[in-house]
Chain A
């Protein structure tokens, strides 16, 4: 499967999850996503776990609001009827399952291409060259920032300005960590843009690394998955 195909598949599944209005419709879309994820082997468990970890806290808050406090579903409020906690719970279940499907399919796509380097992935995506450069540059800078965060945190703790644990010092001075990191990374970027990149013509050099020698927009397998996702969305729509 190509990254282009995975992106199309993901967008179709997310569309299906968005237009599905009830649990059976969402279940159909989820089934499509699970079948896709099974193609990644044992990573489907990781994707399920990650998605559940993201959605469960939200589901808990929604349950507190709609079932615990409000006691009826939004549609019942709009209709002016008394409603019930059971309907509120059903509403929360639909929202939670929709969020779960969205999180799950994104994670499944991410894990499917986990073995690829960012260059390998971006190379195969059909996108303007400037967009590809921006993505790889951003990914590189993210790593630089995260490393700078670690180093700056060491120094600010050593200087007594922030602490390892939550504290009022962190509330007062936490922004210093952001500033130090920003200035460090800007300085690095200035140095590269002033010296290394012009000398080496680096930004043109990566054109070669980001250009696919045999570009493939969509393959037959991509088409098959997309049809499956479209079918799932269609079934979800028909169940409304």
Chain B
């Protein structure tokens, strides 16, 4: 399972997960993109499903552990969410690898698949994260979620419901952005690297 090239892919994607927060901070963007590496790892290892799931999860797990030690100590609590994102990415998102890799990029198909898989990833992420957010954070993880949760709770929803509803609004947007970034990075990745990871798959003729 853990060939040299797959170790490199896992480590690269874990490092990307960790580092990308620094990048968005430097360019002052109001987002935090912490699963781009996980999704990208699944794309890189597809069509070997087992390898894609295992390596994507490993990348996500190492990323949250290291981020938890240095930047955000609460991130390791979302390990189940990391696993869920790895599964969705390997089983669903990675099936669009042909579209993401095509040159020229088919814009319509590309956008449709990014949005579709981003929403699915967001829903799965929201569902798996809701219990952690509700119990550990009182439903609130930041400024955006604070107001949304407040609205739902004030409307009579229980904490878990409000957290889930808040997540279902915010997570699809966030994860669509992350799927978009992962797809763009996958599109740009040199063929030599992809061939290194999947020696049995020939490069496409596009």
Contacts and interface: CB of A to CB of B under 8 A. Distances in A.
Find out whether A and B make contact in their complex, taking CB atoms under 8 A apart as touching. yes
Given A135-B62, A141-B11, A166-B28, A186 B193 contact: yes
A110 B70 contact: yes
Contacts of B190: 183, 186-187, 190
Interface residues of A, number: 62
Interface string B1-33: 010110110111011101110111011110000
Nearest to A178: B23
Interface of B is mostly: helix
Given A62-B137, A133-B7, A174-B29, A181 B23 contact: yes
Contacts of B29: 170-171, 174
B150 interface: yes
A240 interface: no
A177 B147 CA distance: 32
B16 A182 contact: yes
- Which 6 residue pairs of A and B lie closest in terms of their CB atoms, listed nearest first? A166-B28, A141-B15, A74-B159, A137-B11, A174-B27, A61-B146
B8 A193 contact: yes
A167 B27 CA distance: 8
Given A138-B11, A181-B23, A74 B158 contact: yes
Contacts of B63: 138
A149 B15 contact: no
A149 B12 CA distance: 14
Contact of B138 (A91, A135, A174, A178): A91
Contacts of B8: 137, 189, 192-193
Contacts of A99: 74, 136-137
Interface of A: 51, 54, 58, 61-62, 64-66, 69-70, 74, 77-78, 91-92, 95, 98-99, 102-103, 106-107, 110, 130, 133-135, 137-142, 144-146, 149, 153, 162, 165-167, 170-171, 174-175, 177-179, 181-183, 185-187, 189-190, 192-194, 197, 203
Contacts of A166: 27-28
Contact of B154 (A70, A74, A197): A70
A134 B2 CA distance: 10
B51 interface: no
B4 A138 contact: no
Interface residues of B, number: 58
Contacts of A135: 62, 66
Given A137-B11, A177-B23, A179-B188, A102 B74 contact: yes
27 contacts: A61-B142, A65-B149, A66-B138, A69-B153, A70-B150, A74-B158, A78-B159, A91-B138, A92-B138, A95-B136, A99-B137, A107-B73, A110-B69, A130-B7, A134-B14, A137-B7, A137-B11, A138-B11, A139-B66, A141-B12, A142-B66, A149-B19, A171-B29, A177-B26, A179-B184, A190-B192, A203-B7
B169 interface: no
A61 B36 CA distance: 27
Contacts of A145: 15-16, 19
B137 A58 contact: yes
B136 to A, nearest CB: 7
A69 B150 contact: yes
Contacts of B141: 58
Given A74-B138, A165-B28, 11 more contacts: A62-B137, A91-B138, A106-B68, A134-B7, A134-B58, A138-B63, A175-B181, A186-B193, A190-B196, A197-B4, A203-B4
Given A149-B22, A175-B181, A182-B16, A95 B146 contact: no
A146 B12 contact: no
